[in-house]
Amino acid sequence: MSEIPVIQILDKKNYFKQALVPYPNSTSLPPLTASSLRVRTEVLSVTSNNFTYCKIGDVFNWWAVHPLPPNTPAPYDDGATYGRISAWGYAKVIESTFAGVSAGSYVWGYLPIGTLPLDFQVRRGAVADQVIVTEPYRQKLLPIYNRYTVFPASVGAQIAAKTDGVAYDSFLKLMHLTAYLMSQFMYSPDPTRSLNLTPAQADLTDATVVAFAPGSKVGLAFAYLLQNQRTAAKPRHVIGAASEASIPFLRGTGLYDSVASTLSDPLTTLASLDSSEDTDRKVVIYDFGGRAGVAWKWAAAIGARYPKTRYVVIGMEVADPEAQASGERPEKPDGLEIDQVMADTLLTAAMGQVGEKEFFEGFEESWQGLRGEGIKGFKVNWGEGMESVKEGWDRFARNEVTAAEGLVFKI
């Protein structure tokens, strides 16, 4: 290996602050242990999801997945202050001692942000093209993060060509998986088969769906699934409630029946959808990361008028961890029924319900639908190299990345 590896290191408390740290002593690596892959990240994306990993990283062990390398220079060797976070994308297998995965092939999954190679021991998964990480230090992680899909060397040509398909795989596939679990297994088209809700709770038939951060990748995937791949228990309206800047893009996607500003009045917005003043209708609010507690504010108004209101928590906004919250922030209204989406738990339960192999067959087919069609008006923005990742991270933190743009990097 001739390149000098470089990794991103973050201040764990103020994760808007980052450094790119080179490892000049890591140009030659120790022999790879048995049943292992040595991979180098080649494609990664930056979305709100990466910042969420930072924000609640201590709760889910996310800072511990890719520890600081032993030869990290000061001050970044202080693991109490600094850490590494992960991203989804492709890595090249540069060495392998695991039969069935050869050097030159690729893995898709949860990867370190940087060019320093990562070694992990694996076993074969139940699905033919998947491997599961068996490293003891990673067993504290939720299982979803230890599952990698193997791709042939030919993916390298698509990466070199920076195709939209590779970009979508990086920033949207995991989000589509989450949305698919929600749409097929939690708010199932057959509500009697919901994994974790009663049929009455899970049923979206004729419901009004209101999505916050509707331009998030996971929100777009959910809207796509409701519109294009759902045959039963369909909602009556799917509304995107977005920041002003996201509205033109969201209207252009055609994925929402209507798009409203989060500044508009919640009850007027709902009343404008149909003339009947049917307050008995079900309203389900999906919060994919609306800003400044706006979804709670809407939930309070809507819940007071429509008693059959549910609230679903999926994501959180990206906000400066050092900024003092200004003004009063809306809080969770009393009495509201809340569902929490946890992709990992849903995945395990869904595989239990239909079988692991069958689950991934269904998911891949669904994913190829969205990947092939693409999202109207959405711009893939490729960067190259770690400096460009750093710049993308800063742009996201400065709130300069709009919903219409997907940041993906070849490193």
Chain residues in the site for ligand NAP (CB under 6 A)? 47-49, 52, 175, 178, 213, 215-218, 242-243, 246, 288-289, 291, 314-318, 341-343, 396, 399, 401, 403
Q: Would you say 242 or 270 has its CB closer to ligand NAP? A: 242
Q: Would you say 101 or 318 has its CB closer to ligand NAP? A: 318
The position carrying tokens 């193997």 is 150
User: What residue number has its CB nearest to ligand NAP?
Assistant: 315
Q: Shortest CA distance to 43 belongs to which of 104, 111, 95, 96?
A: 111
The token pair that represents 352 in the structure block = 């239990």
Q: Would you say 235 or 289 has its CB closer to ligand NAP? A: 289
Shortest distance in whole angstroms from residue 273 CB to ligand NAP:
19
User: 3-class SS at 303?
Assistant: helix
- Angstrom distance (rounded) from CA 398 to CA 391: 10
Helix then strand then coil, % of the chain, to nearest 5: 35, 25, 40
User: Taking CA 405 as the corner, what is the angle to CA 167 and CA 107, rounded to the nearest 5 degrees?
Assistant: 20
Shortest distance in whole angstroms from residue 279 CB to ligand NAP:
26
The token pair that represents 54 in the structure block = 């930072």
Residue 318 burial by Cβ neighbours in a 10 Å radius (0-12, 13-18, 19+): buried
Shortest distance in whole angstroms from residue 161 CB to ligand NAP:
24
Q: Would you say 189 or 214 has its CB closer to ligand NAP? A: 214
Q: Would you say 6 or 284 has its CB closer to ligand NAP? A: 284
- Angstrom distance (rounded) from CA 249 to CA 294: 20
User: Taking CA 386 as the corner, what is the angle to CA 82 and CA 409, rounded to the nearest 5 degrees?
Assistant: 115
- Angstrom distance (rounded) from CA 136 to CA 64: 12
Q: Would you say 76 or 108 has its CB closer to ligand NAP? A: 108
Shortest distance in whole angstroms from residue 341 CB to ligand NAP:
4
Q: Shortest CA distance to 354 belongs to which of 170, 195, 137, 149?
A: 195
Helices (H), 172-306: 173-181, 199-202, 217-228, 247-253, 266-271, 294-305
Shortest distance in whole angstroms from residue 404 CB to ligand NAP:
9
Q: Would you say 294 or 411 has its CB closer to ligand NAP? A: 294
Cβ neighbours of residue 350 under 8 Å, at least 6 residues apart? Answer: 181, 184, 185, 195, 359
- Angstrom distance (rounded) from CA 329 to CA 290: 12
Residues in the chain: 411
Q: Would you say 117 or 214 has its CB closer to ligand NAP? A: 214
Shortest distance in whole angstroms from residue 92 CB to ligand NAP:
24
Shortest distance in whole angstroms from residue 19 CB to ligand NAP:
21
Q: Would you say 7 or 314 has its CB closer to ligand NAP? A: 314
The position carrying tokens 């069935």 is 100
Asked if residues 66 and 335 have their Cβ atoms less than 8 Å apart, the reply is no
Shortest distance in whole angstroms from residue 64 CB to ligand NAP:
18
Shortest distance in whole angstroms from residue 197 CB to ligand NAP:
15
